[in-house]
Chains A and B, each alone.
Chain A
Amino acid sequence: MTGWLILFFAIFVALLIAASVKSYKKNRTSDEFMLAGSNIGMILGFLTFAAALFSAFTFQGMPDFFRNHGVGAWIFLAFSDGVMVFFILWFGYKLRKRTKAKGFKGVSGLMSACFGTPWAGYVFFVAAFIFLVPYVAIQIRGISIFLDATIPNALSDWGWSVVIVIIMLIYAEIGGLKAIVFSDAIQALLLLLVIWIIGIFCLNQTGGLTATFESLEKTNPALLSLPGPNGLFTIQFLIGSTIAITMIPVTQPQLTTRLVVMKDLKAVHRMAYAVGIFAILVILPTVFIGLYGAIRYPDAETPAFIASALLWDQPNPVAALAVVGLFAACLSTTNAQIFALGSELRSLLRGEDNIVMRYTRFGIFVFSVVVLVFSVYMSDQLALLARLSFTGTATMAPIVLCAVIFERPPRAVVFVSGLSLLVIFLATIGILPMKVGVVNLDIILYGFMLVSTLAIAGWHSRKVKVVPASNPLDS
């Protein structure tokens, strides 16, 4: 396999260098570096959005989710993505309209400008920092497990993580967002190709669709229905997941930024349905891989299952392609998220362009180190950690949605989001329970945010003129 690995890595590195060279420009402004000149077309936009959304978590976490919790995992991610892409139609329009009026350097800066107080930006930035760190660490953790299994004893988990972060920092430093967008496009296509090759192989190994489901119906029928064998996929859990995932483009800055830097609204709308198609195409083979795991490796630990299904059970060229594909997925998603945190920091800073950029670059370095440390200590529950990240950042929805709807948004929603963020953070570190009676905490928080935001918005709209056409049903 080593020969294939060297060949595919050489091709991948050559593509990265080509993307960097194409993106590099002397004397570029900070906006060109951080926002790629805000001129991304539909195809590149769709690939970069898809790559930022689907990553090592999809490649490794979803097969493991299907293996352990059954077919309800489709609703958890794919159906939720369907709702999300539809929501982008309206949100993309409102967001872009607002950024044209207020300017855009990052979501935190936009929130400060819209609310007329820096606290709105600070709260958003804190939420992004706290809940993007585990999400970024998932990527690094995922690829480290995989590389350690591929080349045992070469480096420790920690060593592989350092290598990834160093490559990412050099790459982002040379090319900026434009280079990240190009690498995202390479990654998205590679991910789709690799996951389908492995998915088809796994399906063949289990005897095709009919044989796979018949076998599972005999051995573990709970995998074929809700809520799954461990009772995870309750309707309550799935509704909570759908809300959190629908809010990803609203509250996760690496995706919000991609809606803003698209060339025009038409490109955003085309990108939305293209991402929906991509979601179906990329999640479908993870069903096959996961169910293959449920038949062949029902009791294996996550790293052992992933290494076997994606690596040892595959022909050498496919295994090598999987390593490179996963590495690419990890690199570009991590890049996008760390870079987004840098953009958020930049949007809160004031002063000379070159000094702000110096602080931003230092900030990107600090975020990378924090992520690196976190990735060493986190668990292997990749999909559940991803969901926690989505839930945490979803607490910022009241701030962002009011900012794009109202000309002068009500400041009270900053308190609503801040309080919700505090509650979910305390629950995450174990101080508050994740359930109150039979109701999940995230459902209670979504209810609280919805009711309080509607009440505040209703009271506010009687006092302040609402921005025209704020209603998505207006025609």
Chain B
Amino acid sequence: MKWKLIVALAAICTIAAFGVVFVPGIIRPKFLSLPYVLWTGILLTGVLVLLTYLGGRYFPHRED
């Protein structure tokens, strides 16, 4: 169940990134002086890496 949730979150994160987050022509809102595309890009990359860590912990299969 946890694995399925993690996969769903990773899929949502990726689809939302290209669907609604990475919008052309936008510089603001800024965060720590970083333009919008850069800070959202860093944030979403960090989320995916965190989900990778959690996915590794809750991966449902084991090697024989």
Alpha-carbon distance between A287 and B34 when the two chains are bound, in angstroms: 11
Among candidates B1, B25, B49, B60, residue contacting A276 with C-beta atoms closer than 8 Å: B49
Please tell me if A85 contacts chain B, counting CB pairs below 8 Å.
Answer: yes
Whether B55 pairs with A82 at a CB distance below 8 angstroms is no
Nearest Cβ on chain B to A239's Cβ, whole angstroms? 6
Nearest Cβ on chain A to B45's Cβ, whole angstroms? 4
Query: Looking across the interface, which residue of chain B has its beta carbon closest to that of A208?
Result: B33
The residues of B that contact A96 with a CB separation of less than 8 Å are: 63
Whether A75 pairs with B61 at a CB distance below 8 angstroms is no
Among candidates A97, A210, A273, residue contacting B56 with C-beta atoms closer than 8 Å: A273
Please tell me if A167 contacts chain B, counting CB pairs below 8 Å.
Answer: no
Residue interface mask B4-34, A partner, CB < 8 A = 1: 1001001000100110001111110010111
Nearest Cβ on chain B to A238's Cβ, whole angstroms? 7
Whether A475 pairs with B52 at a CB distance below 8 angstroms is no
Count class of interface residues, chain B: 35 or more
Alpha-carbon distance between A217 and B28 when the two chains are bound, in angstroms: 11
Whether B41 pairs with A224 at a CB distance below 8 angstroms is no
Nearest Cβ on chain A to B4's Cβ, whole angstroms? 5
User: Interface SS of chain A: helix, strand, loop or mixed?
Assistant: helix
The residues of B that contact A234 with a CB separation of less than 8 Å are: 24
Whether B10 pairs with A86 at a CB distance below 8 angstroms is yes
Taking Cβ atoms with an 8 Å cutoff, the residues of A that contact B are 71-72, 74-75, 78-79, 81-83, 85-86, 88-89, 93, 96-97, 100, 209-210, 213-214, 217, 221, 224-227, 234-235, 238-239, 242, 264-266, 269-270, 272-273, 276-277, 279-280, 284, 287, 469, 472-475
Nearest Cβ on chain A to B19's Cβ, whole angstroms? 9
Alpha-carbon distance between A100 and B61 when the two chains are bound, in angstroms: 15
* With A78-B41, A209-B33: A225-B26 Cβ-Cβ less than 8 Å: yes
Whether B52 pairs with A209 at a CB distance below 8 angstroms is no
* With A82-B48, A100-B64, A273-B53: A93-B59 Cβ-Cβ less than 8 Å: yes
Whether B56 pairs with A89 at a CB distance below 8 angstroms is yes
Whether B63 pairs with A71 at a CB distance below 8 angstroms is no
The residues of A that contact B64 with a CB separation of less than 8 Å are: 97, 100
* With A82-B49, A85-B49, A225-B36: A93-B22 Cβ-Cβ less than 8 Å: no
Whether A273 pairs with B52 at a CB distance below 8 angstroms is yes
Whether B48 pairs with A83 at a CB distance below 8 angstroms is yes
Whether B25 pairs with A272 at a CB distance below 8 angstroms is no
Whether B41 pairs with A75 at a CB distance below 8 angstroms is yes
The 3 closest A-B pairs by CB, nearest first: A269-B56, A82-B48, A276-B49
Nearest Cβ on chain A to B49's Cβ, whole angstroms? 3
The residues of A that contact B53 with a CB separation of less than 8 Å are: 273
